[in-house]
A and B are shown apart, each in its own frame.
Chain A
Amino acid sequence: MLRFLAKKLHFLQLLSQNSEDKQESKSRESSQTSLSRDITQNLKVLKDILGPSNDINIREFSFGYEEKVDAAIIFVDGMVEKTTINESIIKPLMYDSHLFTPKESQTITTSIDLIQRSMISVGDVKKVDSFDELVDDCLYGDTVLLIDGSHEALVISTKGWESRGVQEPKTEAVVRGPREGFTETLRTNTTLLRRKIRDPNFIFESMQLGQRTKTSVCLAYIKGIVNPKLVEEVRRRLKRIKTDAILESGYIEEFIEDAPFSPFATVANSEKPDVIAAKLLEGRVAILVDGTPMVLTVPMLFIESFQSAEDYYSRPYYASLIRTLRFIAYTITILAPAVYVALTTYHQESIPTPLLITMAAAREGTPFPAIVEALMMGTIYEILWEAGIRLPRPVGSAISIVGALVIGESAVSAGLIGAPMVIVVALTAITSFVVPAQSDTATMLRFVLTVFASVLGAFGIMIVLLGVLIHLSALRSFGTPYFSPLAPLSPRDLKDVFARVPLWAMFTRPRTIGWHDPQRQEFRLDPHPPPEESEK
């Protein structure tokens, strides 16, 4: 069975490789690699490459004081700032062309330098001589200026399109802390990060991924803190992605993660610049992808899911308490239905007698065995949850009332489901939101545990838990043990696991990640009274 699947996969892989090769050769055939000196020839080639799309604007014009020179600008409508084109490209060329007085000695090549230097009033202008590069830039919102007689073209940065502003992220709301979140625009996102970390060693490395989407991907790290081998590894894994589309950072995550078949994510993501900045400062590498507000960070640790940005903004006692609560909630959310099923079907002797009576009374007359109840309620809850996400706002409340009534009140009063099971499912539902980063694995684990509990009781639960624990300890994320600092145990890093020690006591960065520059701050930073002046 497995071998059959593997063969199938291999076949598909070959197929896709084949077609990729074909596409590449085709696109290479149709394009000349470098520009010629003749503008009409260049425009013809360009039109050929860009096709008949109506969003591509080609504006031909001529300029010059004594001698007219033919020129053309090419841009994609909607992706450019038109005012920049009008005011800073066309206007100076047309009105101020008296400045453009090529002397006899100057060739057209040097005159394009002149235009670039003294006429185009835009910050970012570069010279390009190949069609590939020219087209890439043009499709990313830049304006191409072609001048007759030059084998080079000017690419003028005029990027500007409709985009969502910086808003509070919906998924990671905080009570205390910055409310800004990343947007879909890569440049905005890098800005948000740069504003947090004004360090020349903070480096953005950009690359393009996806043969068709040409998505800009940005690798961010802080030189000096990060382990250079880690950056090298991330770069290597990104470079080997040869696919046609990267539409979201999830695409990249799947191509670069360490254990693609593990239910646990080994790449973390966040929408909040402060979270990403903190992770960068611990020695991680961030991967920003154009078109999505979700930024990836590697390596990821299991306990990272239990750490929230607010832990570091509120005072340590409360933060530690909440941290502990999250561990408890996670335990409840994966274990509650399984333990309930195990207790009621195998270990009735370990339920306190009065509780047993209450539970037995609730079970009296219900038609399904406990395991069926558990799976049924679990499934119904997941359906409600999934439906709830996609619901249009105005319908939401109506549906949630129906859902609550159906799975809560009516199922019990109709005698279909025992009341304790409703409580258990409600409890798992609520607790699953406490650790959002692990909620998807928690759901899967919960179902597996419940099934095992129904077959083997508490013994089954132990088997699954041990299996998961072994798996977690064996997982690695970009060379870092996934379960560290618990396994392997590094006692000094326990400062930020179950309890969060005061910030002035966190001298060092996490050992497994930020070992390159381990010291975060000076020692003895805890608030204390000034040293007493020497007595007179």
Chain B
Amino acid sequence: MPKRRKILFKLIIFIIFILSIAGCWNRRELDTLAIVFGVGIDKAKKPGNIEITAQVIKPGEMKSPQGGSGGGGEKPYWNLTSSGKTIFSAVREFTHKSNRKLYFPHNEIIIFSEDIAKEGIRKYMDFFIRDPEIRRLVWVLVAKGNASEVLETKAILEKVPARNIAQLIEARAATSQASAVRLQEFLTRLMSKTTAPIASVIEITREKKEKIARLIGTAVFKDDKLVGYLNKSETRGLLWVIGEVKSGIIVVKSPGGNGEVSLEIICASSKIIPEIKDNNIHIRVEITEEGNLGEQTSAEDLTSLPAWTVLERRQSEAIHNEVRRALKKAQELNTDIFAFGEAVHRKYPELWKDIENRWDEYFPNIEVTINVNAKLRRSGMTTKPPKPE
């Protein structure tokens, strides 16, 4: 008997351990959750307070009933707002309005309004790193205007505006003219001493009285404060350098001078190489790119070797220009969005200790060489434009 009792005792101990090492858990049924798809952060009317807008989906409305009262009906989402001194308090404040607890793991976007971004957002980021429910894969955006208004825009093909915006971010790879920044990367940049954080920019356009969200350009932060925006081509210039260009169209003049040629970017990569020349820090950016001939409005045959070479040269010139423009803008704003500082840090750790705190003085005047190695590969399904021989 004592042996059996010993086994029983061990079993009980095991069960206690098992139950306690399960950690932070809680049983929640699906129908007790308010699934958050997007979060917007605005300034509240009361000074010093913030206002949070959470876009919560209504699962029942999400699935359009077949045959039933189709069309019209209620919006499949609900934008809740609440305000407080801190994010967490404002989030908990939601329980006064919503019977279900807000559930964040499926949240896809965090939008900061322009006002709040200009004042600095470091104090608001803490909650998003600390809370276990928030994913680091959330997209970070800055809204030109109010964040809550962006979450009210009309999503035509999607049912929920937040999801529409998240997919806009994923679709921007087709042009590479807007940044896409995940929370993880935003935080990395924010916690770096020299690298400036960037974020996507979302703005509202009006089309036929409908408010439509439009994703374009890049928001540039100095430290944690919004200081300016990059436009379309400057954004691509930035993305060339940090190696984030996925695809896009480069339009160049036709070699014959008559008409335009669209070149499609197929793949691109980059390297940032810091060098020290005459006691000066010098940055060399190597960009390798491959493209295809996608369209031509001129009537000439571009697949001949001379025309092809000219096209390749114009392509690399175009890339060069875009990078130059982005660089100029960054140096004007004195924001190291390219992470040049980190590159120097990696290559010259000893030197970096000296200049780390004075990087702001170095950066605006830093000399940058841009080497573009652009190739043109294929010409699509045809070699000649459609014209009579």
Residues on A close to B: CB < 8 A?
Answer: 2-3, 344-346, 348-349, 353, 356-361, 363-366, 369-370, 454, 456-457, 459, 463
A468 → chain B, closest Cβ, in Å?
15
B1 contacts A348, C-beta separation under 8 Å: no
B1 contacts A370, C-beta separation under 8 Å: no
Residues on B close to A: CB < 8 A?
Answer: 1, 4, 18-19, 22, 25-31, 33, 35, 57, 59-60, 62-63, 103, 105-106, 108, 133, 135, 163
Partner of A357, one of B18, B26, B59, B133: B59
CA distance A291 to B103 in the complex (A): 63
B331 → chain A, closest Cβ, in Å?
41
CA distance A356 to B108 in the complex (A): 14
B31 contacts A363, C-beta separation under 8 Å: yes
B25 contacts A457, C-beta separation under 8 Å: yes
B33 contacts A348, C-beta separation under 8 Å: yes
With CB as the reference atom, state the residue of chain A lying closest to B19: A456
Contacts A361-B59, A363-B30, A365-B60; A346 near B25 (Cβ below 8 A): yes
A361 contacts B33, C-beta separation under 8 Å: no
CA distance A363 to B28 in the complex (A): 12
Q: Which residues of B contact A457 (CB under 8 A)?
A: 22, 25
Q: Which residues of B contact A353 (CB under 8 A)?
A: 106, 108, 163
- Could you list some 7 contacts between A and B, CB below 8 A? A348-B33, A348-B103, A348-B106, A349-B135, A361-B63, A454-B27, A459-B18
Contacts A348-B105, A349-B106; A360 near B35 (Cβ below 8 A): yes
Q: Which residues of B contact A344 (CB under 8 A)?
A: 29-30
Q: Which residues of A contact B35 (CB under 8 A)?
A: 348, 356-357, 360
Q: Which residues of B contact A345 (CB under 8 A)?
A: 27-30
B57 contacts A357, C-beta separation under 8 Å: yes
With CB as the reference atom, state the residue of chain B lying closest to A356: B106
Contacts A456-B22, A457-B25; A360 near B31 (Cβ below 8 A): yes
Partner of A370, one of B30, B60, B62, B108: B30
Q: Which residues of B contact A2 (CB under 8 A)?
A: 4
With CB as the reference atom, state the residue of chain B lying closest to A455: B27
Q: Which residues of B contact A369 (CB under 8 A)?
A: 29
In the complex, which of the residues A353, A359, A361, A459 has the most CB atoms of chain B within 10 Å of its own CB atom?
A361
CA distance A346 to B25 in the complex (A): 7
A119 → chain B, closest Cβ, in Å?
68
CA distance A497 to B87 in the complex (A): 56
B59 contacts A360, C-beta separation under 8 Å: yes
Enumerate the 8 nearest inter-chain pairs by beta-carbon distance, A residue then B residue, closest first: A349-B105, A360-B59, A361-B59, A361-B63, A363-B30, A364-B60, A360-B30, A363-B31
With CB as the reference atom, state the residue of chain A lying closest to B30: A363
A457 → chain B, closest Cβ, in Å?
6
B164 → chain A, closest Cβ, in Å?
13
Contacts A348-B105, A349-B105, A357-B57; A363 near B29 (Cβ below 8 A): yes
A346 contacts B27, C-beta separation under 8 Å: yes
Partner of A365, one of B31, B105, B135: B31
B293 → chain A, closest Cβ, in Å?
37
Q: Which residues of A contact B105 (CB under 8 A)?
A: 348-349
B31 contacts A348, C-beta separation under 8 Å: no
A104 → chain B, closest Cβ, in Å?
78
Contacts A357-B63, A360-B59, A361-B62; A348 near B30 (Cβ below 8 A): yes
Known: A370-B29, A454-B27. 4 other contacts (CB 8 A): A3-B1, A345-B30, A361-B63, A364-B60
With CB as the reference atom, state the residue of chain A lying closest to B62: A357
CA distance A361 to B62 in the complex (A): 7
CA distance A463 to B60 in the complex (A): 35
With CB as the reference atom, state the residue of chain B lying closest to A366: B31
B61 → chain A, closest Cβ, in Å?
8
Partner of B33, one of A358, A360, A456, A463: A360
B76 → chain A, closest Cβ, in Å?
9
CA distance A360 to B103 in the complex (A): 13
Contacts A345-B28, A345-B29; A463 near B62 (Cβ below 8 A): no
A361 contacts B60, C-beta separation under 8 Å: yes
Q: Which residues of A contact B27 (CB under 8 A)?
A: 345-346, 454
A205 → chain B, closest Cβ, in Å?
39
Q: Which residues of A contact B63 (CB under 8 A)?
A: 357-358, 361
CA distance A183 to B31 in the complex (A): 55
Contacts A357-B63, A358-B63; A463 near B18 (Cβ below 8 A): yes
CA distance A357 to B58 in the complex (A): 9
B154 → chain A, closest Cβ, in Å?
20
Q: Which residues of A contact B28 (CB under 8 A)?
A: 345-346, 348
B163 → chain A, closest Cβ, in Å?
8
With CB as the reference atom, state the residue of chain A lying closest to B4: A2
Q: Which residues of A contact B163 (CB under 8 A)?
A: 353
Q: Which residues of A contact B18 (CB under 8 A)?
A: 456, 459, 463
CA distance A358 to B106 in the complex (A): 14
Q: Which residues of A contact B106 (CB under 8 A)?
A: 348-349, 353, 356
Q: Which residues of A contact B108 (CB under 8 A)?
A: 353
CA distance A363 to B30 in the complex (A): 7
Q: Which residues of B contact A370 (CB under 8 A)?
A: 29-30
Q: Which residues of B contact A361 (CB under 8 A)?
A: 59-60, 62-63
Partner of B59, one of A3, A346, A364, A459: A364
In the complex, which of the residues B19, B30, B33 has the most CB atoms of chain A within 10 Å of its own CB atom?
B30
With CB as the reference atom, state the residue of chain A lying closest to B8: A2
CA distance A3 to B1 in the complex (A): 9
B203 → chain A, closest Cβ, in Å?
25
B30 contacts A359, C-beta separation under 8 Å: yes
A349 → chain B, closest Cβ, in Å?
3
Q: Which residues of B contact A349 (CB under 8 A)?
A: 105-106, 133, 135
Partner of A364, one of B31, B103, B135: B31
B133 → chain A, closest Cβ, in Å?
8
CA distance A399 to B26 in the complex (A): 41
With CB as the reference atom, state the residue of chain A lying closest to B104: A349
Q: Which residues of A contact B60 (CB under 8 A)?
A: 361, 364-365
A360 → chain B, closest Cβ, in Å?
4
CA distance A509 to B29 in the complex (A): 52
Q: Which residues of B contact A3 (CB under 8 A)?
A: 1
CA distance A268 to B366 in the complex (A): 81
CA distance A359 to B59 in the complex (A): 8
CA distance A459 to B22 in the complex (A): 7
Q: Which residues of A contact B135 (CB under 8 A)?
A: 349
Q: Which residues of A contact B22 (CB under 8 A)?
A: 456-457, 459
With CB as the reference atom, state the residue of chain A lying closest to B135: A349
CA distance A2 to B4 in the complex (A): 10
Q: Which residues of A contact B25 (CB under 8 A)?
A: 346, 456-457, 459
A10 → chain B, closest Cβ, in Å?
14
Q: Which residues of B contact A456 (CB under 8 A)?
A: 18-19, 22, 25
A188 → chain B, closest Cβ, in Å?
48
A150 → chain B, closest Cβ, in Å?
62
With CB as the reference atom, state the residue of chain B lying closest to A459: B22
Q: Which residues of B contact A359 (CB under 8 A)?
A: 30
Q: Which residues of A contact B57 (CB under 8 A)?
A: 357
CA distance A204 to B26 in the complex (A): 61
A343 → chain B, closest Cβ, in Å?
9
B109 → chain A, closest Cβ, in Å?
12
Q: Which residues of A contact B103 (CB under 8 A)?
A: 348
With CB as the reference atom, state the residue of chain A lying closest to B31: A363
CA distance A456 to B163 in the complex (A): 32
A324 → chain B, closest Cβ, in Å?
33
B2 → chain A, closest Cβ, in Å?
12
